[in-house]
Structure 1
């Protein structure tokens, strides 16, 4: 198994929430009576933040709020290279070597002092240099990935670094933007990709009054909003902060500590026996130091820390050849000794992108007719996940090959109000109208009766239990009602190598479990297909209080 394959399962941040969290600012720099922004009205939110959406904040207000709240970032704990290097000389392994050095000085055995001191320094230098180099790479990547935001201040729209935003700032968000902070939408409509936060691959529609979570990506639409939370107070920021402050006990430290502890116990028992005999025979204690030094040097593996450090450094170098950046030397050893791997579904087992899984023609239409109309009602330039799924399957099935060239006339992208995309194309001098979108919306546009619509929605509900998202496709002349040609189901497909990789992990003795925030039937459908049987929801696991 390649190291790059294993890296597929490593996530930088845990998925949290379900997209419906309540946002509460515990301490607000603007008002002592801050409302719950998740449920407060737009008027109350603006009043609590003391901001006029038509003019935005004044420069003095921005500076005052930044002094109070800080920058819109998760502040990293200051790292002092000298102290970090000196930290390599602290710990049970380092103490073991340092004790031997002290005894060597007392004994006057400077050759042992030099050898053990060299081992101690080499161990510290190797570990420090490797981690320092990796941190430099991460910092360079972070600077290249800085996000900017469109903000209205002093009644003027301007672009500023996202880290300079403060609560109360009026921001503009458009398709393709990363939400720079927790924002309450004031005007417009957006469709957000919240997979980084919730693990859900399907986009979430947002209307005025809804919360836009920091870290989400705007897929469609645009709108203006007011910043309500920044930095570590956002949900994404809190997660990042937890990751930074987490200090799990390293496996290698536990192993070395256990070995050294038992060796010290053995040496201690032997020294106790020697001291007891010496006291009984009246031998001076100073003469016992050479024996203590011999016992320590022979019983304690002085090269053990260096051996571990060198082997992990070589492993990190090998992983780097496969595109895996190791920021902590012991991470490679921890991954190699893991016994249980808990994976997420979206973006880990799956591609985190939609694909067509089923085409259901209606009336006299064929699959090619459905895909043809659906692809025409899509636009590749928008990079919309649903549009891309239709275009990809149309190219794969080659539905355009035997058709006369088409001339696009107009295209209307998805709108949260009409819940559909629509296009007008000209073929052989005749203008055709095609559309795709929510089943009820398209069915009503086609003039279907209520019983017919309910029958279609029943089919949609059945597909939804398997994690499929179903859309309707219609076509017709530019003037007049279109005709419903079929239904198309989409889902987030597994990665092409997921099944093979899971099988490889199982062969290596690693138990693979899936923890998901999605509906359990969806996770079971995906997990079973890639060879996973131990599947559960994170919420159920927390409620039960027992291991999966």
Structure 2
């Protein structure tokens, strides 16, 4: 398919709607573009936003708020106006805190969205330049090519493209478009190049929306699914205890309304009220920090998924190598041809306008040697296409059609109808150049019916200076690194040996099974083969990361748990990936893996502590009723306890943690097992403190305050106990977490000592409960925790 480059975009003036004519050879002037932008606005659709007051009200319309609201009503019916008022105030305060935290996370995401935008090649003031698609205006002259997302509605002036409009129309077959045809916003350019004039932007486009790169997935992550699976188990367990409580109350003729309130509070205690805010805040804060380190997150769950990645498949060019191709020599394979003849033909099969590094690497030495001084007149040019794996220039020589072609040896060879001797010579020459790590291309030229293999050219792309070290550091984190390249086996093996990747080379055979365990390197890989590699790794049980940059890499990037668009990626690849690297190389991968494992550790602390405290609270309160015949804590104190615990729990989102040295996976049974052991020990401790408090001659109301202190102090201690595998004092908490903990403890102690919202306790009792909790936690840390974590493989 012939394509027109930006340099060839010459046409007569066109009319774009009601706007004045635009000269395609010059484009708009900067001043005219600015005036039109001021008039029509950015090339974007205003997002449908929900009013803040509606978002805040939504915090009161969910199962947990419903239960608390029912408790408020029941308390009013019982004539407990003060208790119902306090619970209402706490409910409102909790909703406001969650709202503020979510807004903070949304603000972080908004900053990321500003950095992830579609770029457009536009001609202004007779110069081609790249600008953000949001700055396009009607009348702009734009150039599109394979891998682009059409940035605005266009009417094509010249060239030819194949457009994928499936996201817009639902039609799976590509649409061919040429001069005079439209190209609509959001379509993906699969093949070809073309130049067009912008006819509509923003809300005025045919499909009414612009192409957005960031897609926030609504599907729950593995971590969220795991926590909710645990919560389901806890709720079932709670329902059994609630049934026991109700039966006990009916048998002993306890007040029904009080019993209903108590039963509701048991259920509320099992629900992870702070989970959405904690998870969103943890991932959003990490995403914001990653943005300052060259990693842009397009979907929040990708941060957490990075923690589980155990295999990374990296492309070669620009990621492991410098992407600075240099001519490394040529070998002539036909009598009468020399190195210069091969280089000249390769240069004639190249074009400056494509800005393809491979083409530029061949054109530079050819011009230095003045090999193109007598170049024939070119009639058309076919740029490199991943589907054909070759590029071609069409010329006229002595009035006859003549072609110059370069591409993969496996593609060019068959086109030249080689005999056995010629094929053997081609294979030998390719291996000789590839053994040094050079990329090898076969070169052919001749008339349509007499295409002749001239020889091979080698292009060297040395490894990045930091590549081997980064690979070694990624491996130290338990992630196996493989390389996928379109180069020959010898080239792949040479680069693999230099970088410490290994030397076992695999080829993708259609219909053949692939054993990823036997593959360090994948050679002669087509873009569509990457999806097969990812699927094979996932089938073998691996959590896979895949880097990519091209439009045909998009399926593999979407399939991989960790799709990574590299710095030079097309807009389509960025849209499909979970993270986008803004700096070349693998440094960003190392950064996001560490950040992901930090998020995992924080959420692991949250999960373990939530299960532990839920089991402790519901069992202690239930059996406290069964053993004493009265409620060992009031509904008001339960709400206060939940609020105090959630306030401290949310600070986990910013905690300072050590990333694990190995990939992390969520194991429900292991988490439940470790939590149950700790819950049993905590229950024994809590009951011991309660019995001690009874012996001090405290009243029933004062004992309820003691229970409140036991459960609040226990939650605080649990966070510090579980936040690391080493001694709890080995790693200082973040400033926000330390402030939340200190503030929480001080306020709770003051409330108990002065009898605010609860029966007052002697300072001695408050101090003893706090001291006992600290001592018990230190004993758990020294004697139990590390052995327990090893037993249940919690890292």
Q: State the TM-score, normalized to the length of structure 2.
A: 0.37
Bigger Cα Rg:
2
More helix per residue? 2
